[in-house]
Amino acid sequence: MKVTATVSQNWLALFLIIIFIAVGIATLEVISPPENSKFCMIDSDCACGKSNATGECFYGNKNFVNTSEQCPDFCAGIGGNLEIKCINSECRQVKKGNLKTQP
């Protein structure tokens, strides 16, 4: 009878370990940043150039931008008065020195 109780306890322990691992993996997936072309955490996460997907002028997360192909008027503005900033976890184009987003 003592052997049966030990086996049952081992199965219970194994079951609980599997549950904890599964919950841990699910939690890791939730914490991972989204696959969003505009997502950022800091200004250096953002870039401007041509979209890797379309080849069109684009600003957003640096992983989605080909910075070796520039679009100067699009990225910096004709007067050079625009920059790309991370605002509320999103790459946005703003006037230099101003956090107001451009239309």
* Domain coordinates in residue numbering, the chain: 1-32, 43-95
Confirm if 102 and 82 have CB atoms less than 8 A apart: yes
Predicted pLDDT at 48: 96
Confirm if 90 and 39 have CB atoms less than 8 A apart: yes
The SS3 assignment for 37 reads coil
Could you give the C-alpha distances from 14 to 5, 8, 11, 28, 78, in angstroms and in order? 14, 10, 5, 21, 64
Could you give the C-alpha distances from 86 to 11, 13, 19, 44, in angstroms and in order? 50, 46, 38, 8
* Tens digits of residue pLDDT in 16-53: 677 666 666 555 444 444 578 999 999 999 999 999 99
